[in-house]
Amino acid sequence: MPKRAVVTGGAGFLGSHLCERLLADGYHVVCVDNLVTGVARNIKHLEGRRGFEIIQHNVSEPLYLEGTVDAILHFASPASPVDYAQHPIATLKVGTLGTHNMLGLARAKGAVFLLASTSEVYGDPLVHPQPETYWGNVNPIGPRGVYDEAKRAAEAFTMAYHRTHKLRTRIVRIFNTYGPRMRLNDGRAAPNFIRQALAGEPLTVYGDGSQTRSLCYVDDLVEGILALLQTDYSDPVNLGNPTEVTILELANLIRELCASTSEIAYKPLPEDDPKQRRPDITRARTLLHWTPRTDLGVGLQQTIASFRQG
């Protein structure tokens, strides 16, 4: 029988790509999403496919499923500053109650549990690049704390279930990822710049644009996630692109790829905005034999093309 995987947040940007790939790999896939930040259009092309189920549900409430479950990939959460500013309590709940509920389901079904954590657990890092052994520099009461601390708590929950109940768990710390199906208004740099460049609007750069990000194309990230799922490694693993780019460089590259004449508009840096973000992926290279392959320019061209198509 095909393996059965549950993907929470399956109608989101990353979740929808995971659902698609798992189906292609022969899994039966249960997509769970409450559609608060997920978008039904992201999985529209999968509806009716054999082995694909959709359940509209908030995983901060218990979820009961009939039948076997082999893997639970917990991706449910608002994931951009705009989203968790609008849904701060829901963000905290899905990271804590939602994680607890999904761990309980994994334990009941004897399934492997994979947690989508984030580079935001490192906060505004004082160590660069960031290895998994770094404990982070997080402001727990700042505007980003609802997301950062929810994910840190989710990691603690996951390790507690691993140690106490011998649950098979995986933790992936995801760094900035981009690609088709991102929401143009989700507040993150790449889709913001693409939306503004295509509309001929000024590109909003916060601060002087010298802060850095490391952008990984979604297909590369999915490869890394599925490679981690197949291991028996329970400690966190960074997945992201170690090639660093400044926000201003990113804005100029997107403007060029869009053939846009938009100007750059500088605005004050938001509170607790990380000044540097770059993963140390030594662990992923060693454990998973994984490294991102997609050049930033190529990935952005594909992303821009998808946004032009609507």
pLDDT, tens digit, 9 for 90 and up, residues 184-222? 888 889 999 999 999 999 999 999 999 988 999 999 999
**Residue located via tokens 């705009």:** 82
pLDDT at residue 275, rounded to an integer: 81
Reported confidence tier of residue 140, pLDDT bands at 50, 70, 90: very high
What is the DSSP secondary structure assignment for residue 95, as one 8-state letter? Answer: I
Reported confidence tier of residue 73, pLDDT bands at 50, 70, 90: very high
Percent of the chain with pLDDT over 70: 99
147 catalytic, yes or no? yes
pLDDT at residue 300, rounded to an integer: 98
pLDDT at residue 81, rounded to an integer: 87
Half-sphere exposure for 81 (CA within 13 Å, toward CB) = 15
pLDDT at residue 113, rounded to an integer: 98
Marked catalytic residue, from 27, 84, 122, 147:
147
Nearest alpha carbon to residue 236 among 149, 166, 162: 162
Higher-confidence residue of 124 and 304: namely: 304
pLDDT at residue 309, rounded to an integer: 86
Contact 200, 137 (CB under 8 A): no
Rounded Cα–Cα distance for residues 148 and 82 (Å): 14
Contact 148, 123 (CB under 8 A): yes
Nearest alpha carbon to residue 220 among 138, 266, 285: 285
Contact 171, 115 (CB under 8 A): yes
pLDDT one-digit tens code per residue, 16-31: 999 999 999 999 999 9
> Which domains are present in the chain?
4-178+216-242+278-288 (3.40.50.720), 189-211+244-276+296-308 (3.90.25.10)
**Is the confidence at residue 1, as pLDDT, over 80?**
no
Rounded Cα–Cα distance for residues 245 and 222 (Å): 22
Tokens found for residue 167: 């649950």
pLDDT at residue 70, rounded to an integer: 98
Rounded Cα–Cα distance for residues 254 and 224 (Å): 26
> End-to-end alpha-carbon separation of the chain, Å?
37
- Chain centroid to CA 65: how far? 25
DSSP helix/strand/coil, 40? helix
Rounded Cα–Cα distance for residues 120 and 235 (Å): 17
Three state DSSP letters for 117-168: EEHHHHECCCCCCECCCCCCECCCCCCCHHHHHHHHHHHHHHHHHHHHHCCC
pLDDT one-digit tens code per residue, 231-287: 999 999 999 999 999 999 999 999 999 999 999 999 998 776 778 889 999 999 999
Count of CB atoms within 10 A of residue 107's CB?
A: 15
Cis bond upstream, residue 129 (ω within 30):
yes
**Is the confidence at residue 38, as pLDDT, over 70?**
yes
pLDDT at residue 272, rounded to an integer: 64
Rounded Cα–Cα distance for residues 244 and 236 (Å): 21
Q: Which of 83-92, 107-116, 186-195, 248-257 has the lowest mean pLDDT?
A: 186-195
**Is the confidence at residue 111, as pLDDT, over 90?**
yes
Average pLDDT of the chain, as a whole number: 95
How does 243-267 read in b/e, with b if 16+ C-beta sit within 10 Å? ebbebbebbbbbbebbebebeeeee
pLDDT at residue 91, rounded to an integer: 97
Rounded Cα–Cα distance for residues 176 and 189 (Å): 10
